[in-house]
């Protein structure tokens, strides 16, 4: 057993916050059955009270404690992808606190695929509500150091499980209304889901009557430095314009450094989607700390393989440069 597991469980049971690693990002955890503990998550993050949380479970056998009307589709997906980066939205059990669900009749559930998270959840033997362990709307943390830098003493304990292997948040699939609907893309794509479901999930329209879920706001995952998405052709044009104006800029691109200049910091990212996703948040945090006028990110390709990365970058650009709410 990890030496801090007993302490972490004791803190959770007394209503305190514990940050822990998952395969996606680090979560800021509280006992999901304790409304007062869950309220501390919202306070620590500066998170709107109507923004629902995801409940992390030790295994699929805990699903019925939190959800009702569990469909065959839900059981098949849990068997295929749990532990793993898939969150299922289901009708909630009446006892699930409103603080977890944002007052909705649905709850998000998943079993994370990280040995330290699973050890914690098994020892706790219950559900842990855990959004990303960062200030609301900012870049999600993928190392324990990111959590400590951003939340400090707002969290009682940070379990260090190294860098998160996936690096972006889980796929969210709504099963609460009969037809499977993809609400947030992630490492598990539509084609993966279709192989289990026998059909591709629908995609939620921007104003569809879908449950509110984590990470669904237009502005999210954002650096404080303004972030601009540019095409491969437009990157050099934007860079030259910045240099003419005497602006210090950072560049995130899959290509080798095209312009060498004291005002330019160039960060090369992997050219394939899994590697790009793994490095994305750590890279954005590194570039955000430089105090540049802007971050230029070369737009990744379109297509299913890049859907989740493009989703995160679009929301990061929309929220970048804004002051924190608190």
CATH code of residue 231: 3.40.50.11030
pLDDT score of 257: 87
Tokens representing 105? 């009749």
- Domain assignment present for residue 220? The answer is no
pLDDT at 326: 34
In sequence order, the β-bridge partners of residue 173 are 88, 182
Half-sphere exposure of 179 (CA within 13 A, CB side): 8
Distance of CA 290 to the CA centre of its chain: 23
- For the chain, list residues with pLDDT below 50: 324-326
Residue 197 and residue 240 in one domain:
no
Rounded-to-integer distance, Cα 129 and Cα 18, Å: 10
Query: Does 251 map to a domain?
Result: yes
Residue 213 lies in a domain: no
What are the pLDDT digits (tens) for 68-96? 999 999 999 999 999 999 999 999 999 99
pLDDT for position 47: 86
State how many domains the chain has: 2
Cα-to-chain-centroid distance, residue 75: 23
**C-alpha angle 125-127-130 in degrees, rounded to nearest 5:** 130
Q: What pLDDT, on the 0 to 100 scale, is given for residue 221?
A: 86
Q: Report the pLDDT value the prediction gives residue 110, as an integer from 0 to 100.
A: 98
Range of the domain at 232: 227-319
Q: Indicate if 157 and 247 belong to the same structural domain.
A: no
Pairwise CA distance, residues 300 & 308, whole Å: 11
């Amino acid at each position: 057993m990890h030496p801090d597991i007993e302490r972490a469980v004791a803190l959770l049971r007394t209503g305190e916050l514990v940050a822990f690693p998952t395969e996606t990002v680090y979560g800021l955890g509280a006992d999901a059955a304790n409304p007062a503990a869950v309220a501390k998550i919202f306070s620590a993050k500066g998170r709107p009270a109507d923004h629902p949380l995801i409940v992390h479970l030790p295994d699929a056998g805990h699903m019925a404690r939190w959800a009702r009307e569990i469909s065959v589709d839900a059981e098949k997906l849990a068997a295929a992808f749990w532990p793993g980066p898939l969150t299922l939205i289901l009708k909630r059990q009446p006892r699930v606190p409103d603080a977890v669900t944002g007052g909705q009749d649905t709850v998000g559930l998943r079993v994370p695929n990280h040995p330290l998270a699973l050890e914690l959840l098994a020892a706790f033997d219950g559900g842990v509500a855990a959004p990303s362990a960062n200030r609301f709307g900012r870049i999600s943390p993928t190392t324990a150091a990111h959590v400590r830098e951003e939340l400090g003493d707002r969290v009682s304990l940070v379990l260090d499980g190294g860098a998160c292997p996936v690096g972006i948040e889980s796929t969210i699939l709504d099963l609460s209304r009969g037809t499977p609907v993809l609400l947030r893309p992630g490492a598990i794509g539509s084609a993966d889901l279709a192989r289990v479901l026998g059909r591709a999930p629908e995609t939620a329209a921007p104003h569809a009557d879908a449950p509110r879920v984590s990470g669904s706001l237009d502005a999210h995952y954002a650096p404080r430095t303004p972030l601009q998405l540019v095409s491969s052709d437009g990157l050099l044009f934007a860079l030259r314009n910045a240099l003419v104006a005497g602006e210090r800029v950072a560049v995130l691109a899959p290509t080798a450094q095209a312009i060498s200049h004291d005002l330019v910091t160039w960060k090369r990212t992997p050219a394939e989607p899994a590697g790009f996703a793994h490095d994305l948040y750590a890279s954005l945090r590194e570039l955000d700390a430089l105090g540049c006028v802007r971050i230029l990110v070369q737009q990744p390709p379109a297509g299913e393989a890049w859907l989740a990365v493009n989703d995160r970058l679009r929301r990061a650009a929309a929220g970048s440069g804004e002051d924190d709410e608190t």
